[in-house]
Each structure stands twice: as C-alpha cells, then as structure tokens.
Homo-oligomer: A and B are copies of this chain.
Amino acid sequence: MAKQRPLRSDIAWSSADTIAVHGYDLARELMGHVGLGDMAFLSVCSRLPNAAESRMFNAMVVPLVEHGIVPSTLAARMTHAGAPEALQAAVAAGLLGLGSVFVGSTEGAARMLLAAFADDSATTSVEERARQIVAEHRAAKRIVPGLGHPVHKPVDPRAERLFEIAHETGFHGRYVALMRQVAVEAEQATGRALPVNATGAIGALCCEMGMPPQAAAGLGVMARAIGLVGHVLEEARQPIAMELWRRAEQEASSAVHGVLRDGS
C-alpha cells in the first residue's frame, strides 16, 4: 500500500465568522474594496495586484470577454435550447471549444517568448531572437502564434491598445518587445501583413507579469465564461438556436433524404 501523501490547498478557509481567500478577509478586505478583475488577478497570482498591475490586468481580460456569435457561443446557445433549466451546462458547453484553434495561441505565444529568454545569460539581441523564432517556425512549417488576424487588418486594435497601456503601466518590457519584433521579422520573411494580434499581446503581457503560460489560457477561459452568460441570457429572450438547427438539418440531410440501402 502506498504511503499517504498530504492534501494541501492554500486558497481558502472559513470559520463561523470569517471567510479567507488567499489570506484576505473576504467580507472585510475584499467585498466593497476590490473589483472582479482584481479577484481574477488574485485567483491567478495568489495576491492582490498593485495599481499598475490592476490596470494592465483588467485591460488584458476585458477584450477576452466577448467575441459575438462564434462557435463557442453557438455551442452554448444550442445547449440552452435543449436544457434551458441548466444555465451552468450551457456556459460549460461554450467553454469546451476554447481549445487550440481559438484560445491556444495565447498560451502558445507565452511559451514561445519564455523559451526565447530561457537562457538568460545570453547577450543575444531581441532582433536576433526574433529572427531565430521566425526561422525555426518556418523550418518546421508551424504557424507563429500570436500573429495575424483574418478581419483586423492591417493592425489588431486590441493589441495596439494593450501596448499603449503597457507603456503607461511599465509592462512594455522585453517579452512585449520580442513579440512585436517577431511580427516585424515574420512580415519581412513572408511579405504578408502579420501584426501582433490580441492573443500575442496578451501572451506577451502574461510573461511580463510573471504568470505561468497555463495562466494565459486561463484568462481566456474565465473571461469568456462571463461573455457566455450574456449569450445564454440573450438566447433566452431572443432565441436563434432552434431556427439555426432547423435550417442546418434541412440543408445538411437533403443529400441523403429518402435514400435507404435496401433501395426501398
């Protein structure tokens, strides 16, 4: 029989008159004193942010809340159509599509930038590191995470705004600089417009704030849960799922409608 290892979580405890979250008294020190964004920072970093961190962090999660009608909000709305009594299930269904295609690039960008500075003793310039990143991705035929956008051209307005706020708050450091230089190198190498997009900017800023790369994915998940609640509430008062289903079913099955194997 294996020896028992202790179970330990440092996040919260409560007694008859006190609830503590990461060591702060919830009722006396948090409620009425901090906003939801600071609570999110607390969840990720295990401490409250200072003023600059709070401003930067809120600007990073605010653009992740809402993306309109996208596959994840449609999954949530389809789920609500079948189980309107379980709002939590509709939101969860929406979160499940936040994988490699839409949200993964934030974490991918963060990992790429952290790896580039892993050997900290090097005197390599930002330009050289950027060239190396682009060359390696091209050699491996992999997309550089955090660059380009099908709609927002020539620049992603969210990334530009994040860089502005990063300057104001002191978070425009080497990771942001490298991410922007990677875009310059990628544009030169490919001849295409490949500006830093929102996921690239947020991934770089997660590095600046000392968060682990998995946290980068976490920001997207927590923010989108908020937006998904809004979609489920709109679906409840102004539904689209049933109509979209009817159209999709009719068109998609028309190719085989009426066909049986036995020819009857």
Contact = CB atoms under 8 A, between A and B. Distances in A.
A61 interface: yes
Number of copies of chain A assembled together: 4
A233 B250 contact: no
A79 interface: yes
Interface residues of A, number: 138
Pairs of residues from A and B, 9 with the lowest C-beta to C-beta distance, nearest first: A83-B99, A82-B97, A43-B230, A225-B225, A12-B68, A36-B37, A218-B229, A92-B92, A23-B261
26 contacts: A6-B243, A7-B251, A8-B238, A13-B68, A13-B259, A14-B151, A23-B261, A26-B157, A31-B165, A32-B55, A35-B37, A35-B38, A36-B40, A39-B66, A44-B229, A69-B253, A71-B79, A74-B75, A81-B97, A83-B88, A83-B96, A83-B98, A218-B229, A222-B229, A225-B225, A244-B244
Interface of A: 1-2, 4-21, 23-32, 34-40, 42-44, 46, 54-55, 58-59, 61-63, 65-72, 74-76, 78-93, 95-103, 151-153, 157-158, 160-162, 164-165, 212, 214-215, 217-219, 221-223, 225-227, 229-234, 236-238, 240-253, 255-262, 264
